[in-house]
Structure 1
Amino acid sequence: MATRSVPQPPFSTELLADLHADNIDPELGAQLWPLVRADADASRYLDSLDEVRGHVRELGAVDPVLHPMPDDVSVRLFSFLEDLESGEEPRATVHRLPEPSETSSAPTGPSEHLAPPVSLDERRGRRLRWLAAAAAVAAVVAGVGIGASVLGGDEEGTPVASPTENQIGDDLTATAALAALGRNDVTGPLADYAARDACVAAAGLTRPVLGSMNMTYSGQAAVLILLGGADRGQITALVVGPGCAPGDPQVKNITDIG
């Protein structure tokens, strides 16, 4: 019986994320940890995951927060981070080691059934942009306060009650914007991830999507799409018509928060 070989450096980001999230067979994990700790690139990548998660948790307790983070927003924020650790993007599937071939009983070489390793240098940037986007959400919560208004809200920062789902109205506050975090509560064509991403590209933006939901804007049906911001510590609220598509972006408003 052939033994399963242990992956060697350079490690894929998916494998490291699974290891960090304890989403790997314990026996394999015990063999991997010494190898990962001995690899400088892998160690830095795992440290970055720890740093972002710790930073987000610290922001929830800092004094400058104007209003406590709503429980539902907090739950979605940490769920969003958990999803980041289980795949390349929040909707990605968990990486699994390849299954042995059923058509041959002959022993195989140590790497015959393993996907070729991908250098962290090629993929670290993309995943860290996702992590930075998640940290930006937390920074917005701490920096501008849940009661701060955007897109025409109350300039005095008066606390605003959390909106009923899909009934935001015209004044999109920071509370309302963050309600879309980690969601895809959209009906119609933009409920499809590919169509939504194409809509964002049509609006001239190329950033990670943090969530989306239906809303009403200026008395008309619209879709709110949360994106990573142009600058560190920001997120972007993109409001489009429900028919947004390449060649017809139907952009109603783009506002940076934070």
Structure 2
Amino acid sequence: MNVALFIPCFVNELFPHVAMATVELLEGYGVTVHYPMDQTCCGQPLSNNGDSRGACEAAQRFTGLFKDYDYVVSPSGSCTAYVKHHYDWYIADSNAYKALQPRIYEIVEFLQDVLKVEKLPKPVYFPHTVSIHQSCHGLRELGHAAPSELMVPYHSRLERILQLVDGIEVRLPERRDECCGFGGTFSVDEPEVSVAMGEDRVAQHEATGAQFIVGADPSCLMHMGGIIRHNGRPIRPLHVVEILTGRGGAA
């Protein structure tokens, strides 16, 4: 199958190692990975700040660029959720988008729902304790886990896929699906609230005794990582693909 890699702009600029780990993981399963060089921001910041025209143009551009691939896969739950569930606000009449929409996946979704993986491409040993961070978009728009407010049986995609890693111990913070406070441009508009929420969330992860916070959304990991560095905390954020490819131990 031919998969187009959708790399959000901030991942391209700040976390290229996450993009490379995503490629390594997909190619390990025999997937042919393409990277459309003309991709730009998906338009989520434009939409969140009321620029409907800009958001519409971004949606049209994205659709035109990715429409001919078998699947579109991204290591960002937030950006994937926006493209998959919010573009129809702007280009609902686009037949190209209607055909593309069901082929857009976040990386963990893709591994579990399309490739249906039961083992990693190569054995990975990660003898550390990790605390799972369930990001809001992945949780409530992509179904990465069971939101606690729904009072349904618990499940977690991240927890399930991390079971494929040898030596790892997975823990959950007391409030397992609380927001980290990033919220995209919310962190710019309300920095004091955003930082306070992030500090609380980091403390909850630390209370598990974990050495690493593991998530599937680099934006949340970026936010908590900044707070961790600013406060000199020992716990460290890692994207799940870094662990699944064996890159996490060296980070």
TM-score (norm 2): 0.29
Greater relative contact order, per chain length (Cα 8 Å cut-off, separation 6+): 2
Q: Which has the larger radius of gyration?
A: 1
Instruction: Specify which structure has the higher proportion of helix.
Output: 2
